[in-house]
């Protein structure tokens, strides 16, 4: 099946053989990865610089992308982590030039509505984005796509984590360690704005080292949590020794460390409008999310938040262990501010 634009040379090839054609507006080349979509209407720069999008080809459902340009302060990391971007209409030259400078393949003119419907029906798929069909044919691209590994089973945090500890903010109190599984800059900024001093440490930092801090944040990150055996053991060893706050992948690791199970979602939760029920109060939070794996539904008392889309666990509170977590992004970079107080409360409680 093909949605073609006459004369176009760029295309997206899904592993099921579906082809979407458009026009190249980013870097030249070929990008392989998992095709996913995000429903956020803003935050395109934050999205592609979020390490949680590593090894993914991101389709934006917003009809126009790039219309408000780019700015250094909006990036969530030092570089781009998404492999390619797919858009109905890309605006430039600021945005499209930014993509090219960072080696991101980008296609405009894609029928994003049809693509999203396909991914919702069949699930996120392995795919290739090709900027010029003369460099790689559709048939050859499909052959190579089907040789790529599935996202399920991939441990990706080592490729995005900091190789050495560093201080993000000093002279504050308490002193918080952020375990970098692919941490967004907004998390560290929000902690620092709340008055904490913030150190960022590698993904496999031992529990004994983490226990020297006043509190520990387990960050977001890409890939499947299940193969992260070492990271899970570290979390398990740290439980009860220092207060813990998990975010996104950090939430999943805390879940596994406490006996819960995770699984791969059909097409993930990615966007800035996801409703989450806070069980204790009955309040519904509109949240920012970006994850392809989730914690299985649970009626246990420690499961404090649930997704109103599919019932997956969106939050934990293990009071006796001083450990809590959320699947969504309280730093909201970008996104709604319903969950903003979570990071501030964590810092304030460490002062008590």
Q: List active site positions.
A: 248, 329, 331
3-state secondary structure the chain: CEECCCCCCEEEEECCCCEEEEEECCCCCEEEEEEEEECCCCCHHHHHCCHHHCCEEEEECCCCECCCCCCHHHCCCCCCCCCEEECCCECCCHHHHHHHHCCCEEEECCCHHHHHHHHHHHCCEEEEEECCCCCCCHHHHHHHHCCCCCCCCCECHHHHCCCCCEEEECCCCCEEEEECCCCCHHHHHHHHHCCCEEEEECCCCCHHHHCCCCEEEECCCCECCCCCHHHHHHHHHHCCCCCEEEECHHHHHHHHHCCCCEEEEEEEEEEEEEEEEECCCCEEEEEEEEEEEEECCCCCCCEEEEECCCCCEEEEEEHHHCEEEECCCCCCCCCCCCCCHHHHHHHHHHCC
Structure tokens at 168: 């993000």
Indicate left, alpha or beta for 276 from its phi (over 0: left) and psi (-120 to 50: alpha). Answer: beta
Place of tokens 């460490």: 350
> CA-to-CA distance for 10 and 106, rounded, in angstroms?
9
Residues 175 and 214 sit within 8 Å (Cβ to Cβ): yes
Phi then psi for 74, rounded to 5 degrees? Answer: -90, -15
């Amino acid at each position: 099946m093909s949605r073609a634009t006459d004369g176009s040379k760029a295309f997206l090839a899904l592993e099921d053989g579906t082809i979407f054609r458009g026009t190249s507006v980013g870097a030249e080349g070929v990008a392989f990865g998992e095709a996913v979509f995000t429903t956020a209407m803003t935050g395109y720069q934050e999205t592609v610089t979020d390490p949680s999008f590593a090894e993914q080809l991101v389709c934006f459902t917003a009809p126009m992308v790039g219309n408000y340009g780019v700015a250094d302060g909006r990036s969530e990391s030092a570089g781009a982590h998404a492999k390619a971007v797919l858009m109905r209409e890309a605006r430039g030259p600021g945005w499209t030039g930014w993509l090219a400078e960072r080696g991101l393949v980008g296609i405009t003119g894609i029928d994003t509505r049809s693509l999203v419907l396909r991914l919702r029906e069949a699930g996120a798929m392995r795919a290739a984005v090709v900027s010029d069909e003369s460099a790689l044919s559709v048939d050859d691209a499909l052959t190579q796509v089907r040789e790529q590994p599935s996202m399920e089973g991939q441990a990706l945090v080592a490729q995005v984590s900091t190789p050495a500890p560093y201080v993000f903010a000093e002279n504050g109190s308490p002193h918080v360690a952020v375990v970098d599984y692919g941490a967004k800059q907004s998390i560290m900024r929000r902690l620092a704005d709340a008055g904490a001093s913030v150190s960022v440490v590698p993904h496999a930092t031992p529990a004994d080292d983490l226990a020297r801090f006043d509190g520990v944040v387990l960050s977001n990150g890409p890939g499947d949590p299940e193969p992260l055996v070492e990271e899970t053991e570290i979390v398990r060893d740290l439980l009860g020794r220092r207060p813990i706050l998990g975010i996104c992948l950090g939430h999943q690791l805390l879940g596994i460390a406490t006996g819960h199970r995770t699984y791969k979602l059909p097409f993930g939760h990615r966007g800035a409008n996801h409703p989450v029920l806070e069980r204790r109060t009955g309040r519904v939070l509109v949240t920012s999310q970006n994850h392809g794996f989730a914690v299985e539904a649970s009626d246990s008392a420690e499961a404090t938040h649930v997704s109103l889309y599919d019932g997956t666990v969106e939050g934990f509170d293990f009071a006796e262990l001083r450990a809590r977590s959320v699947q969504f992004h309280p730093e909201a970079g970008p996104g709604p501010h319903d969950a903003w107080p979570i990071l501030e409360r964590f810092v304030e409680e460490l002062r008590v």
